[in-house]
């Protein structure tokens, strides 16, 4: 099934509430995407030269000042080689001058590649080499690293040393909307990073559809929380700068989560975007008596969103603020939208990802790329004239993921690799990535569903679930937990809370407690950086008790070997130690080999501790002896 942009009336009512209470919103005309980004920005400069454009805690530029700096940077680039069309690396922190550099690069007609200084050197080398960038724009703080990446300082531009005598006026270099504007590297969660190529037209289309949906206007003050280093760290700012609004930067890593709420109030922020992980931390730190009178819209995206996230919004944020959920990828930013207010109910189950935005169609495909019926799951495919152009330097991968079009389509289709379904009214439900679907003991498990249930528990602040092999190579679920409490809840308590909510094969075998979940540069959970599970005994409600008899000692050693733990107490429950049916069968076989006693599997599960199993072994040995005695007579 394919759906076009059909938003239900009740959603349209909320869309109409997205107006800034005093702002004069003007439609972003479709014709304005047929130009370079710099030209649309210069239109705002002409309209609002003295209005605040961008601000951090250390500097600020008006529209005229930001444009002047961008023009000086652009002229410096052109003076080095006006004919070069190669990408330009951007090695800078998140600050107003960095965004001036992006605008200056775009005005030259060359694409930019963000080289986040926080990335490991090996990753930066990879981005530099594969992007085939010809220059690096940087500052004095990172000049040594820039020279090392480029191989020579002659290919580096220090924006702090650009001659202020250069003309700040527009230089009107012809730039086609079809030219590449950015090569945006993905996080590389499934392999080496891929460089997604967007043109000026595709990025302007993102700004157009979000402006017209959320009514971004010159009176908006947009809070920028995302880390500098991703495509969205640019588009978040672009929504403000291409509409005459102000982009207010916040350095979460340096200033911390605790201060965000007071910053929103002090800076009179009207709209902002949260990655759900940061949103949860923000809500935890939000003072109960603090009002956010200017905040009219929070956009959540980039990770799975839970029912608990929505309940937090309803209980803690003002009724004048709307919550927007959505689904998007680097290959098609902000593909869907679903608005939530204090009244409309979101049904239990997976959180809706929303309805397709303008000029976007959604299909759910089976393995033969055939559309399935509403309510049936399959791979999410996005069709639009405004998809990314493909992957930089990877034509085979581009051909595999970007199809010429599905039957009945006059545009290309992108195979997302995500699983989902369409409800009868056309609302998308994002289920999981195909690589988040695993089989545990022969049964399919959606790891995002397990995460969702974990994050709804009262004592869990954040959670990530991955499938990892144990020491014997058997795949098992490992849950990484950040808790509100110190000490955190025991494994016993967590399992007790999960038992009513998840079938046995979806219960994590191992729980790892962390102070915080590692994050990528874009603020998402960095699953590759999660530490391996420890072999130490997990925190249980029962205290550790040592062995008392030789049979208990042998049984403890046997259990520890199969469960991959250093030590086990004789009263530790088998399931809470990570036991499952497969491990139970292995234990039964080992018990028979060790003692010559066969214990039925049902009895093994009933014997939930080493102490109980040792008694079963003794009983078995007694029975064997008794039978032998009868036979002797």
Average of pLDDT values for 582-587? 76
Could you give the CA distance from residue 246 to residue 97 in angstroms, rounded to a whole number?
A: 15
Could you give the CA distance from residue 377 to residue 163 in angstroms, rounded to a whole number?
A: 58
CB 462 within 8 A of CB 517: yes
Residues 6+ apart with CB under 8 A from 587: 558, 559, 562, 604
Report DSSP state, residue 144: H
Would the pLDDT of 248 be above 90? Answer: yes
Tokens of 220: 């908006």
pLDDT of residue 275: 85
User: How far, in Å, are 36, 73, 81, 460 from residue 168 at the CA level?
Assistant: 19, 9, 19, 52
Sheet holding 460-469, edge to edge: 460-469, 475-483, 510-513
Could you give the CA distance from residue 516 to residue 518 in angstroms, rounded to a whole number?
A: 6
Would the pLDDT of 435 be above 70? Answer: no
Average of pLDDT values for 602-608? 67
Give the confidence band of 116 by pLDDT, cuts at 50, 70, 90. confident
Would the pLDDT of 493 be above 60? Answer: yes
pLDDT of residue 64: 98
Give the confidence band of 121 by pLDDT, cuts at 50, 70, 90. confident
pLDDT of residue 548: 92
CB 95 within 8 A of CB 143: no
CB 46 within 8 A of CB 147: no
Average of pLDDT values for 93-110? 95
More confident residue, 371 or 187: 371
Return the CATH number of 550-632, one of 3.40.718.10, 3.40.50.10320, 1.10.10.10, 1.10.1200.10. Answer: 1.10.1200.10
Tokens of 448: 């995002």
Pick left, alpha or beta for residue 578 (phi over 0 → left; psi -120 to 50 → alpha; otherwise beta): left
Would the pLDDT of 596 be above 60? Answer: yes
Backbone angles phi, psi at 26, to 5 degrees: -125, 140
More confident residue, 580 or 63: 63
pLDDT of residue 2: 44
**Among candidates 502, 454, 443, 448, which has minimal Cα distance to 476?**
443
pLDDT of residue 193: 77
Would the pLDDT of 191 be above 60? Answer: no
Tell me the domain boundaries of the chain: 441-529, 550-632
pLDDT of residue 99: 96
Would the pLDDT of 1 be above 70? Answer: no
Would the pLDDT of 433 be above 80? Answer: no
Q: What secondary structure, in 3-state letters, does 610-629 show?
A: HHHHHHHHHHHHHHHHHHHH
pLDDT of residue 604: 63
Could you give the CA distance from residue 187 to residue 521 in angstroms, rounded to a whole number?
A: 8
Could you give the CA distance from residue 298 to residue 320 in angstroms, rounded to a whole number?
A: 11
CB 468 within 8 A of CB 528: no
Q: Give the predicted TM-score (pTM) of the model.
A: 0.77
Tokens of 179: 């030219």
CB 330 within 8 A of CB 234: no
Tokens of 393: 């330097």
Average confidence score pLDDT of the chain: 88
More confident residue, 18 or 28: 28
Could you give the CA distance from residue 210 to residue 215 in angstroms, rounded to a whole number?
A: 8
More confident residue, 587 or 347: 587
Could you give the CA distance from residue 518 to residue 116 in angstroms, rounded to a whole number?
A: 17
Would the pLDDT of 610 be above 70? Answer: yes
**Residue range 441-529 in CATH 3.30.300.30:** yes
Average of pLDDT values for 97-112? 96
CB 248 within 8 A of CB 269: yes
Give the confidence band of 189 by pLDDT, cuts at 50, 70, 90. very low
Would the pLDDT of 332 be above 80? Answer: yes
Average of pLDDT values for 425-436? 79
Would the pLDDT of 479 be above 90? Answer: yes
pLDDT of residue 626: 52
Tokens of 196: 């997604």
pLDDT of residue 16: 86
* C-alpha dihedral sign at 82, 87, 91, 94: positive
List, for residues 522-559, the tens digit of each pLDDT value: 778 888 899 999 889 888 989 999 999 999 999 999 98
More confident residue, 410 or 255: 255
**Among candidates 498, 487, 471, which has minimal Cα distance to 479?**
498
Would the pLDDT of 437 be above 70? Answer: no
Could you give the CA distance from residue 241 to residue 247 in angstroms, rounded to a whole number?
A: 7
pLDDT of residue 188: 44
Bridge partner residues of 381 (DSSP): 363, 415
Q: How many helices (H) and strands (E) does the chain have?
A: 19, 27
pLDDT of residue 478: 94
Tokens of 484: 């509100």
CB 100 within 8 A of CB 61: yes
Share of the chain above pLDDT 90, in %: 51
Mean pLDDT: which of 173-187, 247-261, 300-314 is highest?
A: 173-187
Give the confidence band of 602 by pLDDT, cuts at 50, 70, 90. low
DSSP string for 445-468:
EEHHHHHHHHHTSTTEEEEEEEEE
Give the confidence band of 439 by pLDDT, cuts at 50, 70, 90. low
Could you give the CA distance from residue 43 to residue 140 in angstroms, rounded to a whole number?
A: 32
Average of pLDDT values for 599-621? 78
CB 14 within 8 A of CB 322: yes
List, for residues 135-147, the tens digit of each pLDDT value: 999 998 999 999 9
Could you give the CA distance from residue 340 to residue 338 in angstroms, rounded to a whole number?
A: 7
pLDDT of residue 444: 59
Give the confidence band of 624 by pLDDT, cuts at 50, 70, 90. low
Average of pLDDT values for 345-360? 84
pLDDT of residue 434: 61
- The secondary structure element, H or E, covering residue 414 is strand 413-422
Residues 6+ apart with CB under 8 A from 571: 542, 543, 545, 609, 610, 611
Give the confidence band of 436 by pLDDT, cuts at 50, 70, 90. low
pLDDT of residue 631: 40
Average of pLDDT values for 144-164? 90
Report DSSP state, residue 227: P
List, for residues 55-96, the tens digit of each pLDDT value: 999 999 999 999 999 999 999 999 998 888 999 999 998 999
CB 34 within 8 A of CB 19: no
CB 184 within 8 A of CB 231: yes
Give the confidence band of 17 by pLDDT, cuts at 50, 70, 90. confident
Would the pLDDT of 3 be above 50? Answer: no
């Amino acid at each position: 099934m394919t759906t076009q942009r059909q938003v239900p009336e009740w959603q349209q009512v909320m869309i109409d509430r997205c107006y800034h209470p005093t702002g004069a919103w003007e439609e972003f005309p479709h014709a304005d995407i047929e130009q370079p980004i710099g030209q649309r920005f210069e239109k705002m400069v002409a309209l609002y030269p003295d209005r605040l454009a961008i601000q951090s805690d250390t500097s600020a530029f008006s529209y005229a000042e930001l444009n002047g700096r961008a023009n000086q940077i652009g002229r410096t680039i052109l003076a080095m080689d006006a004919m070069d069309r190669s990408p330009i690396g951007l090695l800078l922190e998140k600050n107003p001058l960095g965004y001036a550099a992006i605008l200056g690069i775009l005005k030259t007609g060359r694409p930019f590649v963000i080289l986040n200084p926080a990335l490991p050197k090996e990753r930066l080398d990879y981005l530099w080499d594969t992007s085939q960038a010809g220059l690096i724009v940087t500052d004095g703080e990172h000049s040594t690293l820039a020279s090392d990446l480029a191989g020579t300082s002659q290919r580096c531009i220090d924006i702090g040393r650009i001659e202020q005598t250069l003309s700040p006026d527009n230089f009107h270099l012809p730039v086609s909307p079809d030219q590449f504007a950015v090569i945006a590297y993905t996080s590389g969660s499934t392999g080496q990073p891929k460089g997604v190529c967007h043109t000026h037209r595709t990025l302007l289309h993102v700004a157009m559809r979000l402006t017209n949906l959320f009514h971004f206007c010159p009176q908006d003050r947009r809070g920028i929380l995302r880390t500098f280093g991703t495509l969205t760290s640019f588009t978040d700012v672009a929504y403000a700068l291409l509409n005459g609004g102000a982009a207010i930067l916040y350095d979460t890593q340096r200033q911390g989560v605790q201060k965000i709420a007071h910053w929103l109030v002090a800076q009179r922020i009207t709209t902002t975007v949260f990655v759900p992980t940061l949103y949860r931390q923000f809500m935890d730190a939000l003072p109960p008596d603090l009002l956010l009178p200017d905040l009219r819209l929070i956009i959540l995206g980039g990770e799975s969103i839970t029912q608990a996230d929505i309940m937090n919004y309803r209980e803690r944020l003002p009724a004048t603020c709307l919550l927007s959920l959505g689904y998007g990828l680097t290959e098609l930013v902000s593909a869907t939208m679903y608005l939530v207010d204090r009244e409309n109910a979101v049904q239990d189950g997976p959180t809706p990802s929303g309805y397709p935005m303008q000029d976007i169609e959604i299909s759910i495909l089976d393995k033969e790329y055939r559309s399935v019926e509403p309510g049936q799951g399959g791979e999410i495919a996005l069709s639009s004239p405004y998809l990314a152009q493909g992957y930089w330097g990877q034509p085979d991968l581009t051909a595999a993921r970007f199809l010429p079009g599905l039957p009945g389509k006059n545009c290309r289709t992108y195979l997302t690799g995500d699983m989902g379904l369409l409800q009868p009214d056309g609302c998308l439900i994002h289920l999981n990535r195909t690589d988040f679907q695993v089989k545990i003991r022969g049964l399919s498990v959606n790891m995002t569903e397990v995460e969702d249930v974990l994050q709804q528990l009262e004592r869990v602040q954040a959670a990530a679930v991955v499938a990892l092999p144990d020491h014997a190579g058997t795949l098992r679920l490992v849950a990484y937990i950040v808790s509100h409490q110190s000490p955190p809840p025991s494994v016993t308590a967590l399992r007790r809370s999960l038992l009513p909510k998840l079938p046995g094969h979806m219960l994590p075998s191992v729980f790892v407690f962390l102070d915080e979940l590692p994050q990528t540069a874009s603020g998402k959970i960095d699953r590759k950086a999660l530490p391996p599970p420890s072999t130490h005994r997990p925190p249980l409600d029962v205290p550790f008790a040592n062995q008392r008899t030789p049979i208990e000692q042998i049984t403890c050693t046997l259990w520890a070997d199969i469960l991959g733990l250093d030590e086990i107490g004789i009263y530790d429950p088998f399931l809470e130690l990570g036991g499952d049916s497969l491990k139970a069968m292995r234990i039964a076989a080992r018990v028979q080999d060790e003692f010559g006693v066969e214990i039925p599997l049902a009895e093994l599960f009933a014997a939930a501790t080493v102490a109980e199993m040792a008694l079963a072994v003794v009983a078995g040995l007694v029975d064997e002896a008794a039978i032998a005695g009868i036979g002797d007579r």
